[in-house]
């Protein structure tokens, strides 16, 4: 196992900053294969493959804890099939929840933008007014109708 990458060379080969390599080392995901006489980190082709695996797993939505488990599967210390399936199912559930939240935020932003367009001629921003009063634009429509009912 000949170490032929310095930390900088490894980072360049993987197209990541050296700080990323150091971060993965601190996280226990990418230890150096060896140390040089001057105590510099030394890495091998296996390190480069591992670094690329970590980046690919993150690009697929896995957390660093997930990556740690995936590396254990890849290293043969855990039975992978069922566990990888479970990790993917968990990430999918998390993603579905985040998408649900993002859709709700998108709806609020669309209504807010419509309110901005409607209020542009008056010189008053309905969104800012609503936020200052502690209400959203979506609730503001109902609030105005209730206000009219009270004035009768």
Question: Is pLDDT above 90 for 93?
Answer: yes
pTM of structure: 0.62
For position 40, what pLDDT does the model report? Answer: 85
Give mean pLDDT, residues 121-141. Answer: 72
State how beta strands 34-35 and 41-42 pair: antiparallel
**Which pLDDT band holds residue 139 (cuts at 50, 70, 90)?**
low
CATH class (in words) of the domain with range 1-61: mainly alpha
In this prediction, residue 4 carries a pLDDT of: 85
Instruction: Give the sign of the dihedral formed by CA 79, CA 82, CA 88, CA 93.
Output: negative
Q: Give phi and psi for 43, each to the nearest 5.
A: -125, 160
What is the DSSP code (8-state) at residue 4?
A: -
Nearest to 17 by CA among 43, 55, 60: 55
């Amino acid at each position: 196992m000949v170490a032929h990458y310095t930390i900088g060379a490894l980072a360049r080969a993987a197209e990541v900053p050296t700080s990323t390599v150091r971060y993965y080392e601190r996280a226990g995901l990418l230890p150096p294969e060896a140390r040089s006489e001057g105590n510099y980190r030394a890495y091998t082709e296996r390190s480069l493959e591992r670094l690329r695996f970590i980046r690919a797993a993150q690009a697929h939505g896995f957390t660093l804890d997930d990556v740690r488990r995936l590396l254990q599967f890849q290293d043969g210390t855990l039975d992978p099939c069922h566990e990888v399936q479970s990790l993917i199912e968990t990430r999918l559930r998390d993603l579905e929840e985040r998408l649900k939240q993002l859709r709700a935020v998108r709806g609020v932003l669309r209504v807010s933008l419509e309110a901005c367009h409607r209020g542009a001629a008056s010189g008053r921003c309905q969104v800012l007014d609503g936020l200052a009063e502690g209400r959203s634009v979506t609730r503001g429509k109902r609030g105005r109708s209730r206000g009219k009912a009270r004035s009768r």
